[in-house]
């Protein structure tokens, strides 16, 4: 399909480039032109163009889609069934018992449910960690969602062999929507043998590794008691991060940890909604920024959040950061927008999805500025972070295909069918837990 988006405000997220009025053209899965109205007019005078669809954006904003840099999509099953509990009780008495009865087919249908929510939030790629990688990949392939998966290998589930198999199988040019990055669940769920096997894979493929890291004070304290080191230092000492990677959450870190994080070139993926709801703490985002450590944003899973809503996460990143530092100037909204787009893409290895530019992937969204929360037009970019919401997502495009527009989904199935499947799964598992 060939698209022409005209009469638009455009935020490319390229360094130093401000919002401008102009056009974006899409050819198949890539962006073929981004420029001002005068540049578009000049280009049209030089070449012959035809489009399958011309869209008058009426002054709305076109920008890169958000990247959800940490999630567990199929945990839609546990949304609002395990709330208001301490973390250990939430995990051991509510989450693990349910997961024990989930099948690969369940994960397929529940991931499709999550995709619907991602699309309404303007999310065009997810960094997924969950139980059955192949059925999750199938769900994203069938709905058109871009998905980067990582392993959740630990002492109780999956294996180093599975992680390696998925690394080789899901990084195929034949499936441009699915890729895979090495990973394991966490230090506190993984024996030294598990960690050493993951480090061996990192060295074999000279590849980055991702994991839950320094999420809670108890996790950090436990690692110090076991090994005499923080989780960051311990994993680094075992060679896990010799080829980069990153950590999810990273709330409880020391100055020494930050030096290691910077030295290893790690990404921090912050999850403020989940960390707030589970009382895990507030991540030191300002300190990461001072150390020039790149930060991306994830929602975490819908059992701990419970919304897959990037607008809420962006607001929480800056609001909680200001509160932590007791400084209203801390964590500028433009930095947060960069975290949700550019940094998220790069943390996931999606360098061709980080901004709007010719030759990049056509993963972009249209933000409706003709809504009360966007008026009057002052600073659009900051307004997205401070007052934006899902109601402003008018369109979500992935690989040049519009998957969501004006409340209508284009994901290969009726959403009502997906809702029914989720309800059937819930009812079946509820009966087994009685």
What is the DSSP secondary structure assignment for residue 76, as one 8-state letter?
G
Residue with tokens 């199938």: 138
For residue 376, whether the previous peptide bond is cis, meaning omega lies within 30 degrees of 0, is yes
Fold classified for 66-348: TIM Barrel (3.20.20)
pLDDT at site 87? 77
Place of tokens 């969501």: 404
Region(s) of the chain under CATH 3.20.20.140? 66-348
> Does the pLDDT value for residue 164 go beyond 90?
yes
Cβ partners under 8 Å of residue 92, min gap 6: none
pLDDT at position 224 is 98
Provide the pLDDT for residue 191. Answer: 98
Cα separation of 236 and 239, whole Å? 5
Two tokens, residue 372:
């009360």
Task: State the DSSP H helix or E strand holding residue 361, giving kind and residue range, or none if neither.
Answer: none
What Rg do the C-alpha atoms of the chain give, in angstroms? Answer: 21
Tokens, residue 132 = 């059955």
pLDDT classification of 366: cutoffs 50, 70, 90 = very high
Do the Cβ atoms of 36 and 22 come closer than 8 Å? Answer: yes
pLDDT at 202 over 80: yes
How much is the pLDDT for 89? Answer: 86
Residues of the chain with CATH 2.30.40.10: 2-64+363-409
Note the Cα 273 to chain centre separation in Å.
Answer: 13
CA distance 280 to 283: 9
HSE (side-chain half, CA atoms, 13 Å) at 232: 27
Do 10 and 61 contact (CB within 8 A), yes or no?
yes
Report the percentage of the chain scoring pLDDT > 90. Answer: 96
- Report the alpha-carbon distance of residue 388 to residue 381 in Å, rounded: 9
- Give 56-110 pLDDT, tens digit per residue: 999 999 999 999 999 999 999 999 988 998 877 888 889 999 999 999 999 999 9
pLDDT for the residue 179 = 98
How many CB atoms neighbour CB 327 within 10 A? Answer: 11
pLDDT digit string (tens) for 15-56?
A: 999 999 999 999 999 999 999 999 999 999 998 889 999 999
Are the CB atoms for 304 and 277 separated by under 8 Å? Answer: yes
Is the distance from CB of 305 to CB of 274 less than 8 angstroms? Answer: yes
The whole-number pLDDT of residue 320 equals 98
What distance in Å separates the CA atoms of residue 369 and residue 365, rounded to the nearest whole number?
A: 12
pLDDT, tens digit (0-9, with 9 covering 90-100), for 261-313: 999 999 999 999 999 999 999 999 999 999 999 999 999 999 999 999 999 99
Q: What is the pLDDT of residue 194?
A: 98
pTM assigned to the model: 0.98
Domain 2-64+363-409 in this protein, CATH class: mainly beta
Angle between helices 160-169 and 133-143 (to 10 degrees): 30
């Amino acid at each position: 399909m060939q698209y022409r988006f005209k009469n638009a405000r455009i935020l490319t997220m390229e360094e130093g480039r401000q919002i401008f009025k102009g056009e974006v053209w899409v050819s198949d899965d890539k962006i073929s032109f981004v420029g001002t109205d005068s540049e578009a007019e000049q280009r049209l005078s030089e070449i012959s163009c035809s489009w399958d669809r011309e869209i008058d954006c009426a002054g709305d904003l076109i920008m890169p889609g958000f990247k959800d840099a940490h999630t567990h999509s199929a945990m839609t099953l546990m949304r609002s069934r395990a709330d208001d509990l301490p973390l250990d009780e939430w995990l051991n008495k509510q989450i693990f018992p349910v997961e024990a009865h989930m099948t690969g087919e369940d994960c397929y249908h529940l991931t499709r449910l999550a995709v619907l929510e991602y699309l309404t939030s303007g999310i065009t790629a997810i960094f997924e960690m969950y139980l059955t990688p192949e059925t999750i990949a199938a769900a994203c392939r069938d709905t058109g969602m871009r998905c980067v998966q990582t392993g959740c290998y630990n002492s109780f589930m999956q294996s180093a062999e599975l992680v390696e198999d998925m690394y080789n199988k899901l990084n195929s040019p034949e499936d441009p929507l699915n890729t895979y990055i090495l990973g394991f669940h966490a230090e506190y769920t993984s024996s030294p043998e598990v960690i050493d096997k993951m480090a061996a894979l990192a060295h074999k493929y000279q590849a980055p590794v991702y994991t839950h890291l320094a999420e809670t004070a108890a996790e950090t304290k436990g690692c110090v008691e076991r090994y005499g080191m923080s989780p960051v230092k311990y994993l680094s000492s075992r060679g896990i991060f010799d080829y980069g990677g990153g950590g999810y959450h990273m709330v409880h870190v020391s100055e020494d940890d930050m030096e290691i994080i910077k030295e290893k070139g790690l990404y921090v993926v912050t999850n403020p909604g989940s960390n707030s709801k589970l009382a895990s703490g507030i991540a030191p985002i300002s300190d990461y920024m001072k150390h020039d450590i790149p930060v991306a944003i994830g929602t975490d899973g819908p059992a701990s959040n419970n919304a897959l809503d990037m607008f809420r996460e962006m607001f929480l990143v800056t609001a909680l950061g200001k509160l932590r530092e007791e400084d209203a100037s801390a964590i500028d909204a433009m930095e947060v927008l960069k975290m949700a787009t550019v940094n998220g893409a790069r943390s996931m290895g999606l360098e061709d999805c980080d901004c709007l530019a010719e030759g990049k992937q056509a993963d972009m969204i249209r933000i409706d500025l003709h809504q009360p929360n966007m008026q009057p037009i002052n600073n659009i970019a900051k307004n997205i972070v401070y007052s934006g919401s899902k109601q402003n997502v008018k369109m979500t495009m992935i690989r040049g295909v519009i998957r969501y527009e004006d409340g209508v989904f284009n994901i290969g199935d009726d959403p009502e069918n997906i809702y029914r499947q989720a309800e059937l799964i819930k009812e079946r598992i509820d009966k087994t837990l009685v």
